Structure 1
Amino acid sequence: MIRSMTSFARGGRTEDGIELVWELRSVNHRYLEIQPRLPEDFRQLDAAVREAVARRLGRGKVECGLRYRADGANIAAISLNEPMLDQLLGAMEAIRNRESLLREPDIMAVLAWPGVTVARAADLTPVQAQAMALLETVLDDLVATREREGARLAALIESRCELLQAQVDKARQRMPVVIEAVRERLRNRLAEVAENLDEQRLEQEMALLAQRLDVDEEMDRLSTHLQEVRDVLKRDEPVGRRLDFLMQELNREANTLGSKSADSESTAISVEMKVLIEQMREQVQNIE
């Protein structure tokens, strides 16, 4: 199934005072580029996040942002370093006795002294597991969105293929008329400068001219490339690069047709082809 590389998904959960929210954004990119944006307590999940995304996506620049919030019951517990506190209070008491100070010590200043308080880090292993499980759910949403957008892109490209094939058929049908018109113009011009025309030599020259103007090969290749585009759109794998290559080949044949055009209508057909190919190419840039 065709997938777009442009998508957004958001999902969160709140339980036991803990809130986790993932925001995933993806845009088109030549390769798969994953950019985790994790809180400090979740930095160790960086590799796991990259692996989880790489299992689900083939191309695109993907930003993975996690927001984490915990209430007071889940923050790190603070305890006193009793030996350090005794030493500090003892030193303060000695200073008071020596200097005859009456002011009581500032409790907050005492707590701010390095080493007096010890923060016991909360065990975030269960929360990290919840975050990874939530990531898989949000990835499901991201992939589904990319697939829906991809289906719309595939339908658009299919419609452009039909229009382009119509132009190919139009050019093929018109080519005999173009060659005959060129033949007649050449005959008339030669008749103006020569009374006795060598019909055999004229036919030889016309055969060479018709060969130079012939675009059957270009038409055949355009039709072949268009059928390949249709077939590629049905594949259940990343096909963006393949489609991009086919757009280049289609444009090459359309340019060749334009260079061989012998009248304004043929030129207009070539221009319309290139417009349709460019429209497809712009959409292909967003396909995984």
Structure 2
Amino acid sequence: MSRGDQALDFEGNEWEEFCRQALSRKFGAAWQKIPAKNRGDWGLEGFVRQQGIVVQCYADDSVSNQDRTTKQKAKLTADVPKLQRNTTVLEAVLDMQVDSYVFLVPRFDDKELLPHAKTKSDLARGWGLPWIAPSFAITVNDIDFLKEEWEALRGAMRPVIELAPAAAFAPNAALVETLVRKLDVIPRLAADAGRADTWRQMLVRNYVDGNGILLRLDEISPDYHDRITRIVAGREKHLALRTDASEPLDDLMELTSSLAEAIHRDISAIDDADVQSIAGNIVADWLMRCPLEYAP
């Protein structure tokens, strides 16, 4: 993905952090976030003072559009009733009538989410709460809602840093043995020894090349390196969901691409080719260390 493209694949914490920054930029001092650390966030990310707008941000770990839509519906089903349960504190804190509930998701590809949002809007209006306006409606918005803020915060105008690779090290024999074992259970490779060897060589090369880039990045910008480490840690928690992927090779390519997008989204100053090397290293490392494994 080029730095000018929109990025759609966010891990939950990444999306929430971006939304907080973007909404603060979009609405200025009128934006008020609601921290979730102490007894939850009342079902809201925040609100816009005296504009009748409340916001909830949500990103999931889905690997299909159907699963994503199911989880988005479930999120609305779970969160909208919190408005009623927390009505006393919300009425006092918001100090306004709310007519717009903005449900912000990074990706919105299924129009079936719209009637579900309308059903939840009707539900909320039916409570007859004084701070919920008769015109109250839930709108589903994706990253286009924050397009200007995206360009300002993650846009393409930052300088690109030079990352001549540092001296890298190859994976040890035990890691390569683990990689070979995992590739051997993938049907498309088990039936073709030549293709399996090509994938093995490619993944080992990705590991070495990306390792050199990461070592150099840690030398010249530890902050960027730490940000990548946080992105990787957030995604590594969900790798078990990919175990039963029907086409593991396609899944490996998609996983590498989405990881590269996430890194570019957060650090646009790193060149496209270097980001691809970093993503390739991480995916190869996941296979060798065992967070990522496909079922036979």
TM-score normalized with structure 2 length? 0.24
TM-score normalized with structure 1 length? 0.24
Larger fraction in strand: 1
Larger fraction in helix: 1
Question: Taking CA–CA contacts closer than 8 Å with sequence separation of 6 or more, which of the two structures ends up with the larger relative contact order?
Answer: 1
